[in-house]
Amino acid sequence: MNNRLKKQLEFALEIDKEKNIFRQTHLSGHGRNENDAEHAWHMAIMAYILKEHSNQEIDIAKVMIMCLIHDIVEIDAGDTYAYDEEGKKTQKEREEKAKERIFSLLPDDQKKELAAVFEEFEEAQTPEAKFVRAMDNLQPLMLNNSNNGDDWRAHNVTAEQVYGRQSKTRAGSETLFEITDTIIKENIKKGNIKPLSENN
């Protein structure tokens, strides 16, 4: 086996560990906690079927690979819950170290390619990155809604927090933001998300 193939296979085996990183969000039907690999797979399929709703024209192949790798760093860095303000303070540093170690398993050209795609997602400036951000927000929102808001209630999540995160959905897709806005309002009415008035 040549060295290039050896590195590629080592990386392929290493990323299997993403299946062990569990998120706060539960599977639909009140199932167990979802893992990072399931989240990424779900996002990638959603991106493909929802691509027509992007605000701008996108390279869907790039979008799908971005979906699939955006949380690989959590193998080392762990999952930082969307509304964990304390965890967010060290998130960037933890994920940078993880990115360097994990992508360095690959041959140099592929390390640079995937690290660049990861950085593009983090910066959220391109049409592709903005659409992936929309998927990253919509996917757990759909699951939380399907589970009658159990995860939002468990974490005392507020409308301000949810809207703060979903503002990034709007940058990728106005159409999908309208859907998320409806879901949020319904869950505020049900008492699953704390209304803004309680936090002013």
Q: What is the pLDDT of residues 97-127, one digit of tens each?
A: 999 999 999 999 999 999 999 999 999 999 9
In the prediction, which pLDDT does 200 show?
43
Tokens 């936090």 belong to residue: 199
182 pLDDT higher than 60: yes
User: Each residue of 64-75: pLDDT tens digit?
Assistant: 999 999 999 999
In the prediction, which pLDDT does 197 show?
61
In the prediction, which pLDDT does 82 show?
85
Q: How many CB atoms lie within 10 A of CB 156?
A: 10
CATH architecture assigned to 3-199: Orthogonal Bundle (1.10)
In the prediction, which pLDDT does 111 show?
98
In the prediction, which pLDDT does 88 show?
86
- Check: CB of residue 171 under 8 Å from CB of residue 131: no
d(CA 111, CA 151): 36
In the prediction, which pLDDT does 163 show?
95
Delimit the domains of the chain by residue range. Answer: 3-199
195 pLDDT higher than 90: yes
Query: What percentage of the chain reaches a pLDDT higher than 70?
Result: 98
In the prediction, which pLDDT does 150 show?
96
- Check: CB of residue 171 under 8 Å from CB of residue 130: yes
Helix (H), strand (E) at residue 26: strand 22-26
198 pLDDT higher than 70: no
Nearest Cα to 25, choosing from 184, 161, 159, 143?
A: 143
Q: Per the structure block, which two tokens stand in for 6?
A: 């050896």
In the prediction, which pLDDT does 6 show?
98
Mean pLDDT of the chain: 95
User: Each residue of 132-150: pLDDT tens digit?
Assistant: 999 999 999 999 999 999 9
Beta-ladder partners of 26? 33
196 pLDDT higher than 60: yes
In the prediction, which pLDDT does 83 show?
85
In the prediction, which pLDDT does 85 show?
84
